[in-house]
Amino acid sequence: MDLNYTVEQIEFREEVRAWLADNVPSTPLESFDTKAGFEAHREWERTLASGNWGMVTWPTEYGGRGCDLIQWLIFEEEYYRAGAPLRVNQNGIFLLGPTLMEFGTPEQKARFLPAMASGEEIWAQGWSEPNAGSDMAAIRCRADRDGDDYVINGQKIWSTRAVYADWVFGLFRTDPSSERHRGLSKILLPLNSKGITVRPIPQLNGLPGFAEIFFDDVRVPVENVLGGEGEGWNIAMATAGFERGLMLRSPARFQQASKRLVELYRRNEEDVVDPAIEEAVLRCYMDAEAYALSTYQTASRLAAGGSIGAEASCNKIFWSQLDLQIHDTALQLLGARGEIEPETDEDKALLGNWLDGFLFAQSGPIYAGTNEIQRNIIAERVLGMPRK
Ligand SMILES: Cc1cc2nc3c(=O)[nH]c(=O)nc-3n(C[C@H](O)[C@H](O)[C@H](O)COP(=O)(O)OP(=O)(O)OC[C@H]3O[C@@H](n4cnc5c(N)ncnc54)[C@H](O)[C@@H]3O)c2cc1C
């Protein structure tokens, strides 16, 4: 294995760095869980698209740059290093996008990918239902065929950013006589369709970061099915593989957070009395670097024709626990000060956004499939242990 970057990769990194230095907003944008913040992030997506940086791995005709996964990792490293805004369209570009690329028809790719890369259409994900979370095969939301349309009825829940998003992709039961994972289809539909009601749900920080979606005789054309009727479960598993195994949480996010943690430690070093904190800082730094190396290995394997399998579950447990560990250590370093939401610029400079990050990190072991479910998958499908 050659761990050195090629000349082309070094030049690519320099190009990304220079573009970001010229374009990243000098002050952080408002949270994308507010209306104003959401639109500010959409505007940032447009700026990215103006340089064809919307999703660098996509072909140029879809708004990308035809980069490979190693270049994508380099882009992400520079992106986080520059402190660029979080991606408001992450459900689209990191989850639906790769699935469309693999299973979409040419018409679907041309219709959806460019608008996704430019932020013109921002996507929500609609899988969970009140009685179908971990047990996703229990989905009951129905899409009944009626001529050239489906008619959708039912409810989704916990749909991230659905309050302000434009489109939703979800799993629906297209065969009414089917059970469990059979008879499901993945359908794409606009959130402003007649018969849809979106009801915000506040997250721990009080902002409406996710929503319930109610479907009441919503009509969707049959060409909005992705990957064929009844194929929804297989397609959803491919999306989950990208989500857990590679794209949703690139290592740069944690490398940058662990570097900020080291800086926080240095600023507070004289007050640290517990040697376990020093060790925890070191462990976070090392784990973030180890995660980066392991991701480079996954990207190389995919480039050589491999695929993401059940081991994506190990990945998901690792990054969600690392995020908890980084933020928990930061709050220990800050002590009581860490419990105050910074308001003035001076407080923000001193305290950073650790509390916000700490609150969000609590959800890491839940979203993208809970860590208990990932452990079941590892036991059965990686280690070959019996179900009971
Ligand atoms: C921040 C955040 C964002 C989210 N965004 C979205 C989104 O955009 N779209 C979407 O569709 N959903 C989203 N979700 C929902 C998420 O996918 C579900 O919360 C998750 O799948 C768990 O489902 P549940 O909440 O119904 O809990 P349940 O499935 O009821 O689980 C409750 C507890 O029981 C445990 N458990 C359940 N079954 C088993 C088992 N067989 N073995 C061991 N333990 C088990 C679980 O691990 C969990 O601890 C989001 C969730 C969060 C927190």
Does the pLDDT at position 181 exceed 70? yes
Q: What is the pLDDT of residue 214?
A: 98
Statement: residue 323 has pLDDT above 80: yes
pLDDT at residue 13, as a whole number: 98
Residue keyed to tokens 């397609």: 235
Percent of the chain with pLDDT over 70: 99
State the first-to-last Cα distance of the chain, in angstroms, to the nearest integer. 40
- Per-residue pLDDT at 32: 95
Selected catalytic residue, list 223, 243, 311, 343 = 243
The structure tokens listed for 132 are 């179908």
Q: Quick one: average pLDDT of 240-268?
A: 90
Q: How many helices (H) and strands (E) does the chain have?
A: 13, 8
Chain centre to alpha carbon of residue 218: 27
Q: Could you count the other beta carbons within 10 Å of the beta carbon of residue 218?
A: 22
Report the distance separating Cα 84 and Cα 78, nearest Å: 9
Q: Computed over its alpha carbons, how large is the radius of gyration of the chain?
A: 21
Ligand 1 touching residue 372 (CB < 6 A): yes
Q: Tell me the per-residue pLDDT of 54-75, one tens digit each, with 9 for 90 and over.
A: 999 999 999 999 999 999 999 9
Q: How close is the Cα of 367 to the center of ligand 1, in Å?
A: 6
Q: Is 125 in the pocket of ligand 1 (CB under 6 A)?
A: yes
* Cα dihedral sign, 222-228-230-233: negative
Angle between helices 251-268 and 69-81 (to 10 degrees): 30
- In terms of Cβ atoms closer than 10 Å to its own Cβ (0-12, 13-18, 19+), residue 147 is exposed
pLDDT in tens, 227-252: 999 999 999 988 887 777 788 899 99
pLDDT of residue 1: 65
Cβ neighbours of residue 192 closer than 8 Å, sequence gap 6 or more = 166
Given this model, what pLDDT does residue 387 score? 87
- Our CA angle for 50, 48, 367, nearest 5°, is 145
In contact, 189 and 112? CB cutoff 8 Å: no
Check if 243 is active-site.
Answer: yes
pTM above 0.85, yes or no: yes
Of the candidate ranges 8-17, 278-287, 344-353, the one whose mean pLDDT is the lowest: 344-353
Q: Report residue 358 as tokens.
A: 């700490």
Looking at residue 271, its pLDDT comes to 87
What is the dihedral angle through the alpha carbons of 223, 229, 234, 235, rounded to the nearest 10 degrees? 10
Q: Measured between alpha carbons, how far is 210 from 133 in angstroms, rounded to an integer?
A: 15
